[in-house]
Structure 1
Amino acid sequence: MDYLDGLRAADASVNTERNYASRIALYLSYTEALGIDWTRPSLQNLSGYLRWLVNEPLPSRGQRPDPEPRHRRPGTANAHLGTVCELLRWSALRGLVPDTVINILAQPKYLVYLPEGLDPGKDGQNRTVRAKAIKFSVAVPGFEWLTYEDVGQMIAVARHARDRFLLDLLRETGIRIGEALGLRREDMHLLPNSTMLGCKIPGPHIHIVRRPTNTNRALAKSRQPRWIPIAADTVNFYTDYQYERDEVPQAPLCQPWVRHPALSG
């Protein structure tokens, strides 16, 4: 593989090359088994792969089965996914992976506490860095993770189209609750082509913008705007919500922004 040849040309150690090769082979086997295009994984696909890495028992170390199943640690799973992300970025530079995939791999992170010696910049611009969007964190005791299927059950029993849309949006994009509640119609670019809205980003997507003036006090954590692609199912959930909202006479009165005609469908 050209990617591994590049590691060798960069004078990477034999162990590094061996580890990267095994991690890439595992990812390619996983995507092939599930019928996923390895060049176009969604946020759901990558999150599912990360969970699979820690849930799937490791092979036995000898001819006899291990007394107890062994599993990868979360830190090891993060390292595996990190290698996959590097492969996807490398492939994107060669036109094999679309930019929409690369955009979901990292998100802006605001540094409240700066590392020693780092200049924050005149306007604090150096406080915003790019951080991994998908990784395991050490959970606080007493809290549990909701699986993709768990959220699907919540969507199925939700009574309102608005709730179904928000649950699906959170599941598919991984945005924070405050970011979802702070979305405005002007942030929803759901057409295949949004040039009429002054946006050159192709395909359906949303824009995450930090607005301290939101009347519901919803606030995006990052000060750096970003955009996230969304799937057709999420667009359908949003359409259902719009139909439901149009049946409420008071709805237009609680909206401080202008509805764009291109976003009505």
Structure 2
Amino acid sequence: MRAFPVDLPSGARYWTVIDEDLCVVPVADQWLRFLRFGRGRTELTTRSYAGGAVFYFRWCRATGRRWEEAARDLGLFMVWLRFSPARLGAETSTVVWGPGTRPLRGERRVNGVLAAVRGLLSYAVSVGAVHRSVLGQLYELADSRDLPEEAKGEETGLYYRLRARHRLQEPKADVDRARDDELVAMFLACRSARDRLIVLLHGRVGLRRGQVAGLRRSDCHLLPDSRALGCDEEGAHVHVRRRANSNRAWSKSKTAWVQPLDFLVVQAFDQYVDERLERLGAGGSDFLLVNLSREPLGAPMSPAAMGELFERLSARAKLGRKVGPHMARRAFGSNVANAGGSWDEVQMLLGQEHPGSVAPYVIPDRSRVREAVERVPSPRELSGRGER
């Protein structure tokens, strides 16, 4: 069993599951196609879920279980997944794997695989491939009575929800942002106008790397008045759109939005356009960011290339750690908040659909936190006002 990429004639791509005879596993393939084209999930999501399904099918095969009925033993699957190596060779055949030995997969990885398995089996129930009793083995039914009042929101009545039965407690991970001095150092370490623009599009515009890689030249309106281009938006901006791209770039946001640009980013655009014209002339693809020094010249950069660039710049700037594109995006969200931006402004600028999704992107400056504490009046000040 293994995950396998499928390129469709339309240019779209998703990942499926094939068996030892290189035949597609039907129910897994239907589920992954549904995720990609019915639910609008990204190619990377289908890749992750296909990999999770592969682990489940391998375990069923190794233990002699039917995958349609093995959900009742997911606890054993969790142990197997935590400790079993991906490949059992001759050198590992005499080794005992299990509790007491060093885990080979962390809690987050195990939970990701379990989420894929729940999705696969739930879909199989919906199409009649698996008995509906399996849902009771995957989820327990809970109601709103055990929720704190803050979590109930405006819901006043009793309502029910499904809670996964099998899940490991994950250690709390620190969410970090790129510091401003790090972004400046990376900007100065760039060796081309294109790379400087990429750093700014992440750190000063707040786009994801898939959104940056997916920008087309036609998405970029840099004039103060764009009505001549058929656009009613004022000021310099870019249109962030979800579309199928040949370089696998994908905007996570389902809805399109307009992202304003400041004069620094516009200046970086101008310098890059001059650089691109000098090296490619009027050629190259319609993608904004393309290869300028490696073959094939003019081909669009991939999202992975954005991450590789940030890794190189982190080393070249001697930062002492790797600063990735997403850390630059968090820096943008935090800087907007530190500059007095409201929560809804940060939400709109980050292209987030739900207000609650903004929290991981806003890491307040410590000085701003101290100022917030100092703004709270002391009891002495309050009592003095009362006496007057």
- TM range, smaller chain: 0.3 to 0.5
> TM-score under structure 1 normalisation?
0.43
Structure number with greater Rg is 2
> TM-score under structure 2 normalisation?
0.30
Q: Quick one: higher RCO (CA 8 Å, sep 6+), 1 or 2? A: 1
